[in-house]
Structures are given as C-alpha cells and as structure tokens.
A and B are shown apart, each in its own frame.
Chain A
Amino acid sequence: MMIRKEIIERNPLLNLGFDREYILSDGGLGAVLAHAGVGKTALLVQTALHAMMHEQPVLHVSLNDAVSKVDLWYRELFNDMASKYDSAEITQYWENMLHYRFIMTFRVEGFSVPKLEERLADLMQQNIFKPHTVILDGLKFDESGRGLLVELKEMAGKYAMRIWCTVHTHRHEPPKEDGLPLSFLHVADLFDVLVQLSSRGPEVYIKALKGQSPDSRQDALLLDPATMLIKS
C-alpha cells in the first residue's frame, strides 16, 4: 500500500534519529512540546496513524475535545495524505484502520489516572481493546503536579504501553538552554523522549530534545503543516 509507505518514509519522529520503530519502548513516556496552535495534536494523531497502519491499537484520550472532533482530526489528516490515491481502496483501508483506534474523552477536572485505568480495565477484561500506544491530549502540566505523571508512568509499565502527551508551552516563558520550559522541569526526568515543535512564520519545525541516539542529526526538520509529515 503506497500510503503506508509514504507515512513511514515521511514520519518526522523516525527521521529525527530515534532507535525504535515506535520511538518509545514498552512502558515509555514521551511528550511533544509546543505553543498553542502549532500542531501538537496533529503530530500525535500522525504518530497514532503510523501505529494503526502497523495494526497496533491506539487509545486516544482527549481532555479538550469531543469524540467527534477527535475523530475529525484523524479523518482530515488521513484524507490529506490519501487524496492522491484510489478512493475505493483507500476507503476500505481506512475502515480497517479504524478497528485499531479507540477515543476516550474526559473533562479536564474529572480526569485521573485511576479513572483512566478503570475504563481501560473495562475494555481489556472484555477483550474489546488493548492499547499498544496511548495519546493523552490536553493535560495541564503546570497544574497536574508530578504525582499524576508518576502514576501514568507506572500504568504504562504495568500494561506494557507507550504513552505520548502534549505539553502546552507558554509564549511568555523563555525556554532554558536545553529547550525545556521552566514549568516543565519538575517532571522532565519522567519522560524518555521529548520533541519540540516550533513555528517560524508559516513553517513548522520539529526538533528532538531528549531520547534520540547520540550520533543522530541534531538540527530541526521542516514539516508540512497540513499533514505534519516531513516536507517533501
């Protein structure tokens, strides 16, 4: 399938020089840092599509958006890439991929790791869904504290999952030398992989901040803002 090949070849995380196919190992925690509106969710949806194409189940947990809106993210990103391929074949492919995705939404104030674990247990015990990757979108790091992330990391280890989070950085807060914002430092050690998205005019760049192999490229890569894939 050509679309699958394209998504793999243009996957920005794979091109940043991380060792593994899914970047994170079992029990690993990763985060995408960016200002509002740069494309954190889109990048993680792209990562999710990559896993779904490899028939790896993805649980998308959103604390901001309704199920229908999250679903729209996936459809739009996929359709952007798929528009140049045969439509009957693509529709069938998309239908098959959907079996590997589950969306859960919580209200920010109602979210906790035990609650997520309880919902997850409902799904796993009945053999409905066992995630390989979890996308957690909308967690407020400056307010959540370290405890929640420690619980999250434990849960990732317990179920052999990898969890990706979005981290909203503030424009008024200049980053430290390693690129990390001050409000994130208290939890940075819990993450195995950190990548940063930044925009310069209409262009979006991605840069690895933590976790890539030492001999890999250190400079930022240019992304196509419509698909969040490497610009071809």
Chain B
Amino acid sequence: MKFDDQKIRNIGISAHIDSGKTTLSERILFYTKRIHAIHDVKGKDGVGATMDSMDLEKERGITIASAATYCEWKGHEINIIDTPGHVDFTIEVERSLRVLDGAILVLCSVGGVQSQSITVDQQMKRYKVPCIAFINKCDRSGANPFRVIEQLRTKLGHNAVAMQIPVGLETELEGVVDLVAMKAVYFDGESGEEVRVEDIPPHLRAEAAAKREALVDAASLFSDELTEAILEEKEISPELLYAALRRGTLKRELTPVYMGSAYKNKAIQPLLDGVTYLLPAPSEVENVALDMNQNEEPVVLTGDPEKPIIALAFKLEDGQYGQLTYIRVYEGTIEKGATIVNVRNGKKVKVGRVVRMHADQMEDVDSLRAGYIGALFGIECSSGDTFVSPGINMTMTSMYVPKPVISLAIVPKDNKAQMAMSKALNRFSKEDPTFKTHVDPETNETIIEGMGELHLDIYVERMKREYNAEVTTGNPRVAYRETITQRADFNYTHKKQTGGSGQFGRIAGYIEPISDAEFVFENKIFGGAIPTQYIPACEKGFRQSMAKGPKLEFPITGVKVVIDDGSSHPVDSSDMAFQAAARGAFRDAYLRAKPVVHEPIMKVVVESPTEFQGSVMGLLNQRRGMIIGSQDEGVMCVIESQVPLGEMFGFSTVLRSATQGKAQFTMEFALYRQVPQSIAEKIALEAARNKKTAA
C-alpha cells in the first residue's frame, strides 16, 4: 500500500436511475484491471454487473446498497462508492456523499438532466462535493451532449464546460476530441481497452477550436497565470489549463463535462484521467468534527495520519463472517489490533480484520490511513457512529435523516420465521436509518416504516431471501398526522381521593398552532402557582399526549403549549398528579382547538412521451394530484405534481398500462398538507374500524 495523500481520490458515482452508472462503474473496474471481464446489468450471461452484488439487485437491474471498491489508475488510488439512483434509497446516496471528496455526475445524453439528477445535485450541494459530469449513452439515438450541457447550466445552475466533443454521435460514435490536448482519441480492441490518439478529423477542427476557446475562457477565471498567457498569446500547456480547471472544480464554481458511452466502451479512460486531474485529494477537502468536550464546537480536521484516530462508520453490511462496517478515516491511522472508542456509547473495541472492499470480495490490509475508505470486521455499531482513539471526544457531524412516510404490518408465517424476521429487522434498522420498525401495542403486529412502497418491498424481499423469513404483509399505511388550527384555553384540575394520599394538580393556559416546530412548551408561571419541581412533569404530560390524538389516534404535531397558572396541594401534589393533569388539560383543549388530519404529499415527477401527456395528467388528477407544471422537452415531456401518498399505491402499474410502458416516474416526500373533509371522514371510519379489529 502506498502512502501519498495527493494520489488518493474518494469518489461517488451519482445519477438518475437508468443513466448507466453501474455499467460505468463496471467499465472503470475493467480498465483499471480490477476485473478481467465485463458483465452487463441484466446481462444475458447471468453474472450481472460486479458492483450489484445482491441477488435482488441483479434481478431487478437496479443498485440498492452502495458497494465500495477501490482501483488504481495511473498511480492514483481511487475509492469508488456506487450509489443507488432510486429516490426511495436516497439515504444511501446521502451517506455516500458525506464521506466522499468528489463525484461523477452521470447524465443520459438523451434524457438529459432528469428529476433525480436534480435531487442528487441538491445533495451534492448540501455536502459541498465537487463534481465532474459524464454524459453517457452518446451512442443512443437522439443523443445530444450539448443540449445536456445547456441543461446543466439552466436547470442545475452549473458553470458546465465541455472537456471534449464527440467524434460522431448515435450509432456513428467513434471517440472523442480531447479539448485540452487537441487530439482525437479512439478506443479499439474488443472492449475499447486500446486507446489510439490521432489528429483531429478535418471536419471537426473548427468546432474543436471554438469549444476549446470556451474551455480556456471558463478556466481563465480561476488562474491569473492562464489569463496572462491568453493575453500574451503564449502557448497554453495542458498542466496550466488543468490547474485552472481544477481550482474552479474544487470551488464548485466549474463543472468539467466528459462524454462517451460506457456500454459501447467509449471514452471511459479519459474520464478516469479527469478524476485524477480534477477531483480533490482528501487533504484538499475541509472536514469538520464536533468537539463534545467544548459544547460541540466545530473543529477542522487536518487529515494528519500521525494524529489520533477520527473515523466515521457510514455503512453496515451483514456478511458471512459477521458485521462488516464500512469506514472512512478522517484523521490518524486505524491499524489491526488498535483500540478505538465508539463515541456514541463510549464502548472500547479492538480492531480485528481491516479490509478494502471490491464489491462483495475483499482484500486484507494492515492499516487504513487518514483519507482512506475501507471496512472493519466484527465491530458492533450503528450506521453513522464515529470511532476515535481513546481520550478523544469528537464526533463527525450527524447526517440528515428524513422521517418515514409509509408503514406496513408484517406477520411471520411460523415460529421459525418469527426468529429470522427479528434478526433481519434488527440488521436492517441498523444498516438504514430511514427504515424503522416497532410493535403496535394494540394489534401486536410488527410494523415496518420507510420512505416508499419500493423501499419496504425490497426489505420484505430481502427478509425472505437472505434470512429465510416468510412473512405476509398487510396493506401499506400512510403516516397521517393530526394538528390543531386555532388557539384553545384550558384550566384543568386533576383530583383523586381513593384512600391514602390523594392526587392533586391544576394547570391553566392555552394551546395554539405553530408551523415551524413539532412541539413547543412554554412556562409563563410567575409566583410559584405550580412549584418549579412539577414543571418538567407538566411538560412530560403534554408531550405524552402528542403521541396519539384523542380522536383519530395519529401522532400530533405543530402544537405550542403555554401554561400560565395552576395550583398545587402540599401533600397530594406529585409528578404523577401533574402529568395526569397535563394529559387531561390537553384532551380538554384539543377538541376545541379544531383538530385536522394532515397527510404526506409526495413530489411526483413523470417523464413521458408527449403524446401521453394528457392521459398522464388525467391519472395524476384522478389521484387528487395537484399538477405544478409540465415541461416540454421535444419528444418527451416532464410533468411535475404533488400527490397524496395514500393515492399513489399501484401507480406504477397504471402508468405503465396508460403509456405503453414508455413513461417513468420518481417520487419523494414533499410536505404534509391538510386532508380534505370528505377524505378525513373516510380516514376516521377506517381508524375506527382498525380500533375495533384490534379490540
């Protein structure tokens, strides 16, 4: 293992579903000699792409969990995380971006910037990940890389600039012109492994010169030396140009764009060059940890491998030898046999095997230095935990985790399945923070919760395949919420005298709606009407009430409770009595505060051929969808809408049949919105029926 921080690249490959990023990863592994044969996604050879290691991924042709791998290219070590494209799995994308230093944004040369690309781009912005773009599928009919570059500018606001122009397009795609070297590059051999560099074909010379000028112009904003060279009409060396482009890319003020076709083995090697020239080394990215001893003061990490260890566990997997913990080291060096501490629970653990991953195969190494990504064996932890050297108390910034919006009841077929199911659920909820599970105390059913129908489907399927847990599933249930719409006062006395010491507590105040928090408690009592020691009990009582609305029993959100008066009894008042008084006061005021039900609304984006635009809009409208707008993209159109999650079950089947399978859609949580009266009545009936069944 070599140790040159400047030659490490930790990158992710992010894109819209079906833009070919798994195929691209496969080609990268092939050209860097990590694999010796190419297998296609949904391939006829039955082997499947190397990065899609789970059976299910191979079968459905999608990437579910990020597989991490590393490879070498021209003396650089590249760690790659292949990330899933479907919105239901975005937590995987977010976790990958958290540990990456750079990314390749893959775009389809026909589809261009699609809805998921926008989501992924926002995530990259959130984690300030510099990126280069790769316009894939230039061999497809309708390919137009320059339209995609324009979309990168207009739709995503990138300062996108072409690094290449294609030599031929669609079925005629032969190679690319490198605008830095001003040479045409072709890819010969059975799998495009032989790179042939020639002069630019005469018919492309003028276009290449114009595009190079635009490239040099864009780069000159980041280098005075380059500007000088332009003004003095000196020759511009590739080193000078790359240095300027790199500076712009690292600042996220420039997005260099490569192009080619992974499937046809065209122009992957120049993209790998781009990764090494333009994306940052670990030390060029600022990483911040929080010092727990200094009230979570942010501390900028130096990336020094000699310092104490700070590392983040960003992904867990259940392998045949126990739990495999993917880890990124930010400072220090994790060595075999070293002792590290899990900051979350203070537990000390001894590092056993240290490995570097190549999809589902691994390679033992002695240590992982700052800047590296690898995996540890036999470490019990959750995803997102920070590991440090003993004596250090720092944590990496916590990651944003969205709340689940859909739930499903699952029932094991027999006792054996019950055991396997709990094992599986325990693992899944540790691996994926957006996947939650609990037992409903009333129905005694196991409930799983997640980010969408497909998300839960995949876990039920994995339960069967990996853990042999046969389960039956109920209908998906939407995570409704209740809230209040107006202020209501309360003045409630809890009084009980049943022999022995009694219970007494009186609370007065009001509840009112708030839009920017789930629950706020404010104590405005002056003069000790309620003794200070009972105030936390009052808050606890109100908080307990928020768990379940008195009417429909959905969780309540958006309530501010203010208490301004009350009374106590020297003997009969207690924490218990004030908790009970708070619950009574809440029940009493809640119904007068005009409660309403809120439902999760999903942002649904459908991409469809224009001729089906009318029927797609009709389908969304029938599902109580509000169409925000439609975007005409020539032969295709993009319809953006907001649809209640409760109406989206089975939408993919309906959409397929209405559009001859030519439309596709993505869905992600947008907001909670009040349910219309007629639907609220239906929900109330349903809730009453469920309660009856449970009883």
| Interface members, chain A 51-77 (any B CB < 8 Å) | 60, 65-68, 70-71
Q: Quick check: B613 and A67 within 8 Å, CB to CB?
A: no
Q: Quick check: A68 and B618 within 8 Å, CB to CB?
A: no
Q: Smallest CB–CB gap between A104 and chain B, Å?
A: 5
* Complex contacts, A92 vs chain B, CB 8 Å: 674
Binding stretch for chain B, among A5-13, A28-36, A95-103, A218-226: A95-103
Q: A71-B629, A102-B627, A105-B629 are in contact. Are A91 and B617 (CB under 8 A)?
A: no
Binding stretch for chain B, among A123-131, A143-151, A180-188: A123-131
Q: A68-B118, A88-B513 are in contact. Are A122 and B629 (CB under 8 A)?
A: no
- A110 interface contact, C-beta 8 A: yes
* Complex contacts, B631 vs chain A, CB 8 Å: 66-67, 104-105
| Interface members, chain B 635-652 (any A CB < 8 Å) | 638, 640
Q: A105-B630, A107-B632 are in contact. Are A67 and B640 (CB under 8 A)?
A: yes
Q: Quick check: A106 and B118 within 8 Å, CB to CB?
A: no
Interface string of A78-101 (1 = CB under 8 A from B): 000000000110011001001100
Query: Most chain-A Cβ atoms within 10 A of its Cβ — which of B630, B634, B638?
Result: B630
Q: A66-B155, A122-B617 are in contact. Are A104 and B515 (CB under 8 A)?
A: no
- A4 interface contact, C-beta 8 A: no
Q: Quick check: A98 and B626 within 8 Å, CB to CB?
A: yes
- B614 interface contact, C-beta 8 A: yes
- A140 interface contact, C-beta 8 A: no
Q: Smallest CB–CB gap between A81 and chain B, Å?
A: 17
CA distance A95 to B155 in the complex (A): 25
Question: How many chain B residues touch the partner (CB < 8 A)?
Answer: 26
Q: Smallest CB–CB gap between B84 and chain A, Å?
A: 23
- A170 interface contact, C-beta 8 A: no
- B514 interface contact, C-beta 8 A: yes
Q: Quick check: B515 and A91 within 8 Å, CB to CB?
A: yes
Q: Quick check: B627 and A110 within 8 Å, CB to CB?
A: no
Interface string of B138-163 (1 = CB under 8 A from A): 00000000000000001100000000
* Complex contacts, A115 vs chain B, CB 8 Å: 632
Q: Smallest CB–CB gap between B639 and chain A, Å?
A: 9
CA distance A71 to B618 in the complex (A): 21
Q: Quick check: B515 and A102 within 8 Å, CB to CB?
A: no
* Complex contacts, B617 vs chain A, CB 8 Å: 122-123, 126, 128
Q: Smallest CB–CB gap between A73 and chain B, Å?
A: 12
| Interface members, chain B 484-530 (any A CB < 8 Å) | 513-516
* Complex contacts, B516 vs chain A, CB 8 Å: 87
| Interface members, chain A 142-197 (any B CB < 8 Å) | none
- A119 interface contact, C-beta 8 A: yes
Q: A71-B629, A126-B614 are in contact. Are A110 and B515 (CB under 8 A)?
A: no
- Some 16 contacts from A to B, beta carbons below 8 A apart, are A66-B155, A67-B628, A67-B629, A71-B628, A88-B514, A91-B515, A92-B674, A98-B628, A99-B626, A102-B629, A103-B629, A107-B633, A122-B617, A126-B621, A128-B618, A128-B621
B-to-A contact residues, CB < 8 Å = 118, 154-155, 513-516, 558, 613-614, 617-618, 621, 626-634, 638, 640, 673-674
Known: A88-B515, A99-B626, A126-B618. 5 other contacts (CB 8 A): A92-B674, A98-B626, A102-B629, A107-B633, A126-B617
